[in-house]
Structures are given as structure tokens and as C-alpha cells.
Amino acid sequence: MSLLNKRRFLPLFVTQFLNAFNDNFYKMAMVILVTYEIYSDPTQEANFNAIAGALFILPFFLFSALAGQLADTIEKTRVIRMVKTAEIFIMIFGAAGIYLHNIPMMLAALFAMGVHSTFFGPIKYAILPQHLEQDEVLGGTGLVEAGTYLAILGGTIAGGIIPGKIAGIGIIIVAIIGRVTAQSVPLAPPESDAPTAKMDWNIFRSSWRLVRDTMHIPRLFLAIMAISFFWGVGAVLGSIFPPMVKNAIGGDNTVATLFTAFFSIGIAIGSVAVNRMLNGTVSAKYAPISVIIMGLFVLDLWWTVSHWQPTGPELIDWWQFLTLGYGERMIVDLLGISIAGGMFVVPLYAFLTTTVAKSQTARTIAANNIVNSGAMVIGAVIYSLLVSAGVGIADTLFMIAAACLVSAWISWKLHKACDPVAA
């Protein structure tokens, strides 16, 4: 926590916090508006959430290679300031879409925010080894993850309870504040051994080369695949939450906000706790058991949802939800899923940034983002197909629990392959 007192960390932390806050402030305001005011059909709502999730993730698949090349070859703070400036204009466009109830405009802004985050994402991790000592990187990564999910919590609550037209003003203000804090991030020039070749602007060729050159290294392949399965599962969970709350539980927007809030709190707790458990050492030894525990809580959530009895035609609010017999159990499940998820993913991100040369960290994270985003888009598409095929929310949760076993197996192989060497 002492890193929060350091200028080499605090401005970056605040900037990425505001970035995650605004992403989710806008996304939640848009989802609530569409789910509760524009659409009134469960299938349309589920498909919209799946499409929105895929559109936000697609830029990570398309443009991460460019982002990684850019971040490793020029001064990183310069990139941060450029993308934060772009965010202001994107949010103006998105606010107009909210005000006009224009779904194409809102989705276009969401895609643009995905592009913005694609270029910011590799930097927020790759800059840590430059500004932090070796034994601070895991703690710094944990704080970044915790801050990200606390920002998700704040942005989700804000987007869930603030009326759309007011939220449109809020997202513009937050974007401006984020640009101001970005000005204080310390310089992070390219390393002396950084590549000097020209940018490859062919997104497909550069993406293929980046993934190929990264994934042929066994330890990076295993880490990236474990993270990708995790985020593929996360994409489906994220798509499920709003329609699950409204259609399976009979809850209003305050219940949807409550779900995402507890999920975010849990990720933050897990992100900080795993650093304490590992005592600053980058290791995957807790990853397999963490994701297995996550799967068990998903399984219990499946049982609870499948046995849920709606109280009536009227949607219930968050207080009514908590007073019902299964409400508290569902919250415990969400906390268990998210705490275990944070403990699983943070050491793997730290692993990616500490086992390669500093001049290659941004490209390594970019390659990870490409594979992760592919897994998340596939997850969102699969969920949309399941909905169209008539597969219920409860059955989808059961499939998610089974998928956690794949992540556990991959992370176990990573632990056995790399941790003894590290020791």
C-alpha cells in the first residue's frame, strides 16, 4: 500500500482507475437504459448484452499488436496522454447516443472505448517494471487490479443509479479529469534494447506474428491460455448478469448494480490477498485451487438460480432481494467467485511482466490481450448462440463451472513447469 504514496505509481494508478471507472460508468448506463427502458423482450436483451460485450472486446483482438508495438518503441506516457485525450471526444459522442436513445451511436462509442482501452491496456502493466523494483511488481499489479475492480464497482453503481441524461454529462467530466491526472504520470522511455523497426500497420499480419512469437515460449503459452480461459468464462458471466437479474430472479436495476458491485469488491479483495499470501513472490502455485474454488461457487450459484421462485410480476429492488431466503446465498456465491478469480489472475499477469525483458513487456501483454479478447468474443458468441437455442441461464452457469476445470488444469501445468525453476 505504500506504493500509493509514490509519484512513480500514484498518478498511473489514479489514471487507470478513472479509465476503468468511466468504461463501466458508460457501459452500465447504456445497458440499464436499453434493458429497462428501450427493450422489453428477454431474447433481445440477452442478445444486446452479448453484442455489447463482444463489441467492447473486439478492438483488443484487432488492435493489440499495434498497441504493443507502439508502447515498446516510443515513450509510454505520451501514448497514455493521447488515448486519454481521445476518451473525451468518445464520451461526448456516447453521451449524445444516451441522450437520443440511439442504440447504434451508443454501440459505436462502446467500440471506440474498446479501441481506447486496447492502447491503454498494455501500458498500464508494462510500465510497472520500469517504475517499480522487482519485489514491488506483484504488489503493484495487485493494486492495479484491485483499483480496476473498485473502479468497476464505482462506475457500475454510478451507471446503474444515475439517470441516463445526467450520466452522459458525468462520463465527459470523468474523461477530462483522467486526462489531467495522465499529465503527472512519470516518463517511461523505451528501453535501450527496444525494437527500432517501423510499425507494421497490417493488423492481421502484425497480430499473427506477435502471437506466434510470444506463444512459442512454453511458460508464456501456458500463462496466456490460463488467463484466456478465465476471461472467456468472465465474458459469459458478464453477459449473463443483467438478463439473469431481470428474467430469472425478477430484480430491477438496483439488483443488477448490487451483483456487479459485490463481484468487483471480491476481485479487489482477491487481488490484494494473493500478494500477501505469496509475500511478493511471483508464482502460480495458488492458481489451480483458486479457479477450482471459483467453479464450486459458480456451481452453487447455478443451483440457487435454478431453484429461484420469482415473487410476482413486479420487479423487486435490492432490499427486497436481500430479505428473500436465497438472496444472501447468491451474494456469498458472487463474492466467492470474484475473490477466487482475483487470486487466480493477478499472479499470472505479474508472471507475464516479470519473465520477459522490460523492452518486451508491452508486446507480451498485447499478445495476451489478443488471445484473451479472442476467448472473450468466442465466449460472448457462444452465449448468444445458447440463448438463441433456448438454453437457460441456469444451464449456462453449469457449463461455466465445468469450464473452470480447464483453467485449473492449464494453471497447474504452468505451476509445475515454472515455479520450481523460479525457486
CATH number at residue 50: 1.20.1250.20
pLDDT top residue among 294 and 277: 294
The per-residue pLDDT for 85 is 94
Which residue has 456469498 as its cell numbers?
332
Percent of the chain clearing pLDDT 70 (strictly above): 90
Question: Residues 97, 217: one domain?
Answer: no
**Residue whose cell numbers read 437479474:** 245
46 and 139 share one domain: yes
Q: Is the pLDDT of residue 316 over 80?
A: yes
Q: How far is CA 251 from CA 129, 257, 317, 318, 322, in A?
A: 44, 10, 6, 7, 11
Confidence of residue 112 (pLDDT cuts 50, 70, 90): very high
pLDDT the model gives residue 88: 95
pLDDT of residue 156 exceeding 70, the answer is yes
Can you spell out the DSSP letters for 110-166? Answer: HHHHHHHHHHHHHHHHHTHHHHS-GGGHHHHHHHHHHHHHHHHHHHHHHHHHS-HHH
209 and 162 part of one domain: no
Same domain, yes or no, for 80 and 168? yes
- Tell if the pTM clears 0.85, that is, is over it: no
| Phi/psi of residue 363, nearest 5 degrees | -70, -35
C-alpha 276/C-alpha 115 separation (Å) is 34
Tell me the residue range of the domain where 170 lies.
7-182
Query: Mean pLDDT score of the chain, rounded to an integer?
Result: 81
Same domain, 214 and 358: yes
CA distances from 346 to 53, 121, 280 (A): 22, 15, 12
Same domain, 388 and 339: yes
* 349 and 227 together in one domain: yes
Please state the rounded mean pLDDT for residues 180-203.
73
Number of structural domains, the chain? 2
User: Residue 161's pLDDT band (boundaries 50, 70, 90)?
Assistant: confident
Q: Are residues 237 and 175 in the same domain?
A: no
Q: Which residue has the cell 432490499?
A: 319
Burial class (CB in 10 A: 0-12, 13-18, 19+), 100: exposed
Contacts for 327 with CB less than 8 Å, ≥ 6 apart: 321
Q: Which of 182, 213, 244 lies at the terminal end of a domain, its last residue?
A: 182
Given pLDDT bands bounded at 50, 70 and 90, which one contains residue 193?
Answer: low
| 49 in any annotated domain | yes
Please tell me whether residues 117 and 210 are part of one structural domain. Answer: no
294 and 161 part of one domain: no
109 with 215, same domain? no
Mean pLDDT over 110-131 rounds to 82
Q: Provide the pLDDT for residue 423.
A: 39
> Does 195 reside within a domain?
no
Confidence bin at 196 (pLDDT 50/70/90): low
pLDDT at 422 (0 to 100): 42
Q: With 90 as the cut, is the pLDDT of residue 184 above it?
A: no
The domain boundary residue, chosen from 118, 148, 182: 182
What Rg, from alpha-carbon coordinates, does the chain have? 20
Residue 322 within any structural domain of the chain:
yes
1 in a structural domain: no
pLDDT tens-digit series, residues 378-394: 877 787 788 778 777 77
Q: With beta carbons less than 8 A apart as the criterion, state whether 44 and 374 touch.
A: no
Span 156-160, mean pLDDT? 82
Weakest-pLDDT range from 181-190, 313-322, 414-423: 414-423
**Same domain, yes or no: 213 and 358:** yes
- What's the confidence (pLDDT) of residue 93? 94
Q: What is the C-alpha separation between 211 and 370, in angstroms, rounded?
A: 8
Instruction: Tell me what the mean pLDDT of segment 49-72 comes to.
Output: 79
Q: How many helices (H) and strands (E) does the chain have?
A: 15, 0
Three cell numbers written together for 198: 517501423
Residue 153 pLDDT? 79
Residue of higher predicted confidence among 89 and 319: 89
Q: Is residue 191 included in any domain, yes or no?
A: no
Highest mean pLDDT (candidates 41-55, 82-96, 394-408): 82-96
